[in-house]
C-alpha cells in the first residue's frame, strides 16, 4: 500500500482501457474460427493474414454485441461509424496495420455505475467503445528466437475506454468487476481474464491535490486478474509520487506488470495517437446501423445485474447482501431462479447457495450450469428441511451424498431412514433412558451446573444418529430434568 502521508498530498488520476473479446464463432473480418486451439497458426486465412488483394467483410454479430453494450451503459450509439487503419509494425501483425475505429466509434459516451463499499453508487464516465481486431501473439520465452502465432489475428474485440475519473486502485478494481459482470449478463464476452478474453490496461498519473492540470501519465499492461490490477496501480501511484517527491519527473511510457516480482518494467516509450497515422480503411464502407435493427436489438436487451439484484430483493424478500451475491454471475442467478420456482423458502435456498453450492462450484472451478446437483433437487432438499422432515445437519450429509449420487434427496432420506424424529413419545423414551444411565450428570444439573444440558443434547443426537429434532430435544430434556427435582 502507498505511504498514506504522501498519498493525501497527491491525487491519482486513472483511466482504464478494457479489451473484451466478443463472443462470436468467427473472426471480425473473415470466416475463421475464434475457437481456442492448441495448434499455432491454425485458424487463419488470406484475409486475417493480410495477403495482398483480399477484402475484409464485417461480421454483423460483432456490431449487434457492441450495440447491446452501448445500450447497457445508456451510451450514445452512433448509427454511423467508421473503421480506420491503425498503422504500426510488429511481427505478429502481418498486415502492418490493425483495423480499429478512431474518430467515430460505434459507441460514444456512457456511464458505468459502480457500487462503492459503503453502499453508494459512483458513476464513472465511459468515453467510448469501439470495435477492432486483435493482433497475433509473439512468444519470446522458448529460446534465442521469437515465435509468432497469428491465431488471434482478427479476433473481434470491443475496446472500452473510461474517462480519467477513477481515483484509486480499489475503485479501478470495482469498475473492472462491474464491467465484467455487465459483459457476462449481456452475454457478449466470457470475461475470462486468465485466458485473455478480458484484458485491462491502466493509464495512471498523479498530481498535487488541488491541481487541475493532469500530470504525465504512464500506461501499465499485462494485469491478468483483479488483484493484479489493484497491485499494479498501487505500485505505479507510489512510484510516481516518490519520483516527484525526489524532484524527478515522470516519463510517458508503457510499463509491463510483472506479477511474480510485484514490479512494473518499462516496455517502450508510449506512442501518441498521431504516431499511428490513423485513416479511414478504404476497404470498408462506413458502418451504418439501420433504425429498425437498432430497435430490435433494444427490444431484446437482457435484464442487467443491478436491476436483477433489486428484483431479487423485492420478489424473494432477500437481504441486499444475498441478492448481490446471487446476481454476481448469470449462472448464479439462473440457478437460483430455477430453484426458487420449486420452493417458497427463498432465504434458506439463498443460504444453501451462498455456502454449500458456491463452495463446491468454486473448488471445482465450474459454472453452475454444470453443477452436479440440479436446482430442482436443491429446492427439494430445502423443502425437506423447511417442513421438518429432516434436520439441517442431516441436510448437509444428504447434500454431500447428492454430489456423487443420482438419487433425489427424498430417495436418499427414504433409503437411509433419515427422517427427523419429532415424535415426543419416542424422544421422551430415548431421553429418559439417557437420564437413567447418567445419574451423576443429572445431579450436577440439578445442583445448578447448566452446562450439563449440552452433554445430554449431544448424547441424544448421537443416540438418534443426528435425526432428533433439536428444538424438541431441548424442550423435552428441560421438562424431564426438572421433573427429577425432589
Ligand atoms: Zn481468417
280 C-alpha to ligand 1 centroid (Å):
21
Q: Residue 109's pLDDT is what?
A: 98
Select the CATH number that applies to the domain covering 424-482 from these four: 3.20.20.80, 3.40.50.2300, 1.10.10.410, 3.90.550.10: 1.10.10.410
Would you say the C-alpha torsion 405, 409, 414, 416 has a positive or negative sign?
Answer: positive
Spatial distance between the Cα atoms of 450 and 452, rounded to a whole number of angstroms? 5
The percentage of the chain sitting over the pLDDT mark of 70, rounded to a whole number, equals 97
Neighbours of ion ligand 1 (CB under 5 A): 30, 32, 45, 47-48
Under the banding of pLDDT at 50, 70 and 90, the label for residue 340 is very high
Q: Which residue has the higher pLDDT, 195 or 61?
A: 61
E strand residue ranges, 73-163: 80-81, 84-87, 97-100, 110-115, 121-133, 137-139, 147-149, 156-162
278 C-alpha to ligand 1 centroid (Å):
23
The pTM score is 0.86
Q: Per-residue pLDDT averaged across 64-83, rounded?
A: 97
What would the pLDDT profile of 395-436 be if each residue is shown by its tens digit?
A: 999 999 999 999 999 999 888 877 878 788 888 999 989 999
And the C-alpha cell for 437? 444411565
374 C-alpha to ligand 1 centroid (Å):
40
378 C-alpha to ligand 1 centroid (Å):
45
26 C-alpha to ligand 1 centroid (Å):
8
65 C-alpha to ligand 1 centroid (Å):
20
Spatial distance between the Cα atoms of 157 and 183, rounded to a whole number of angstroms? 12
* H/E stretch holding 424: helix 424-437
422 C-alpha to ligand 1 centroid (Å):
68
Q: Are 63 and 289 in contact (CB under 8 A)?
A: yes
What would the pLDDT profile of 178-231 be if each residue is shown by its tens digit?
A: 999 999 999 999 999 988 899 999 999 999 999 999 999 999 998 889 999 999
198 C-alpha to ligand 1 centroid (Å):
21
Q: Residue 7's pLDDT is what?
A: 60
96 Cα distance to chain centroid: 35
The percentage of the chain sitting over the pLDDT mark of 90, rounded to a whole number, equals 73
130 C-alpha to ligand 1 centroid (Å):
21
153 C-alpha to ligand 1 centroid (Å):
8
Question: Could you tell me where in the chain the CATH 1.10.10.410 domains are found?
Answer: 424-482
Q: Residue 351's pLDDT is what?
A: 97
Q: Residue 471's pLDDT is what?
A: 81
- The values of phi and psi at residue 267, to 5°, are -110, -50
44 C-alpha to ligand 1 centroid (Å):
4
Angle at 191 between CA 190 and CA 193, to 5 degrees: 130
Which string of DSSP letters, residue by residue, matches 250-316? ---EEEEEETTTTEEEEEEEPPPGGGG--EE-TTS--EE--HHHHHHHHHTPPPPHHHHHHHHHHHS
Q: Residue 464's pLDDT is what?
A: 85
24 C-alpha to ligand 1 centroid (Å):
14
Amino acid at each position: 500500500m502507498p505511504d498514506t502521508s504522501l498519498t493525501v498530498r497527491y491525487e491519482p488520476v486513472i483511466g482504464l482501457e478494457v479489451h473484451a473479446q466478443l463472443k462470436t464463432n468467427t473472426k471480425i473480418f473473415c470466416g475463421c474460427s475464434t475457437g481456442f486451439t492448441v495448434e499455432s497458426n491454425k485458424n487463419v486465412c488470406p484475409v486475417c493474414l493480410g495477403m495482398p488483394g483480399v477484402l475484409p467483410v464485417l461480421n454483423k454479430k460483432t456490431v449487434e454485441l457492441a450495440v447491446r453494450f452501448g445500450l447497457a451503459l445508456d451510451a450514445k450509439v452512433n448509427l454511423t461509424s467508421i473503421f480506420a487503419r491503425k498503422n504500426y509494425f510488429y511481427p505478429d501483425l502481418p498486415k502492418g496495420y490493425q483495423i480499429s475505429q478512431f474518430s467515430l466509434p460505434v459507441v460514444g459516451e456512457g456511464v458505468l455505475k459502480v457500487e462503492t463499499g459503503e453502499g453508494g453508487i459512483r458513476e464513472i464516465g465511459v468515453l467510448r467503445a469501439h470495435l477492432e481486431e486483435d493482433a497475433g501473439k509473439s512468444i519470446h520465452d522458448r529460446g534465442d528466437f521469437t515465435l509468432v502465432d497469428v491465431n488471434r489475428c482478427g479476433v473481434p474485440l470491443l475496446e472500452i475506454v473510461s474517462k480519467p475519473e477513477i481515483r484509486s486502485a480499489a475503485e479501478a478494481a470495482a469498475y473492472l468487476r462491474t464491467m465484467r459482470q455487465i459483459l457476462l449478463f449481456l452475454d457478449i464476452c466470457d470475461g475470462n481474464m486468465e485466458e485473455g478474453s478480458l484484458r485491462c490496461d491502466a493509464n495512471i498519473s498523479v498530481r498535487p491535490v488541488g491541481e487541475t492540470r493532469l500530470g504525465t501519465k504512464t500506461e501499465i499492461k499485462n494485469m491478468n486478474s483483479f488483484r493484479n490490477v489493484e497491485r499494479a496501480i498501487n505500485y505505479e501511484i507510489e512510484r510516481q509520487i516518490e519520483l516527484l517527491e525526489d524532484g524527478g519527473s515522470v516519463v510517458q511510457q508503457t510499463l509491463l506488470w510483472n506479477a511474480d516480482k510485484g514490479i512494473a518494467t518499462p516496455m517502450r516509450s508510449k506512442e501518441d495517437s498521431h504516431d499511428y497515422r490513423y485513416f479511414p480503411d478504404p476497404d470498408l464502407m462506413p458502418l451504418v446501423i439501420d433504425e429498425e435493427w437498432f430497435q430490435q436489438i433494444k427490444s431484446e436487451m437482457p435484464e442487467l445485474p443491478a436491476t436483477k439484484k433489486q428484483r431479487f430483493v423485492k420478489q424473494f424478500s432477500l437481504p441486499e447482501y444475498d441478492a448481490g451475491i446471487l446476481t454476481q454471475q448469470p449462472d448464479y442467478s439462473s440457478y437460483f431462479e430455477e430453484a426458487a420456482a420449486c420452493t417458497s423458502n427463498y432465504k434458506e435456498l439463498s443460504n444453501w447457495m451462498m455456502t454449500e453450492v458456491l463452495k463446491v462450484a468454486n473448488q471445482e472451478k465450474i459454472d453452475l450450469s454444470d453443477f452436479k446437483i440440479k436446482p430442482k433437487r436443491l429446492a427439494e432438499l430445502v423443502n425437506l428441511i423447511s417442513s421438518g422432515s429432516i434436520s439441517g445437519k442431516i441436510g448437509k450429509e444428504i447434500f454431500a451424498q447428492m454430489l456423487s449420487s443420482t438419487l433425489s434427496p427424498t430417495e436418499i432420506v427414504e433409503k437411509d431412514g433419515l427422517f427427523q424424529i419429532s415424535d415426543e413419545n419416542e424422544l421422551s423414551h430415548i431421553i429418559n433412558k439417557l437420564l437413567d444411565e447418567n445419574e451423576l450428570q443429572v445431579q450436577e444439573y440439578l445442583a445448578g451446573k447448566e452446562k450439563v444440558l449440552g452433554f445430554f443434547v449431544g448424547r441424544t443426537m448421537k443416540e438418534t444418529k443426528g435425526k432428533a429434532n433439536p428444538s424438541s430435544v431441548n424442550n423435552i430434556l428441560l421438562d424431564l430434568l426438572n421433573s427429577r427435582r425432589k
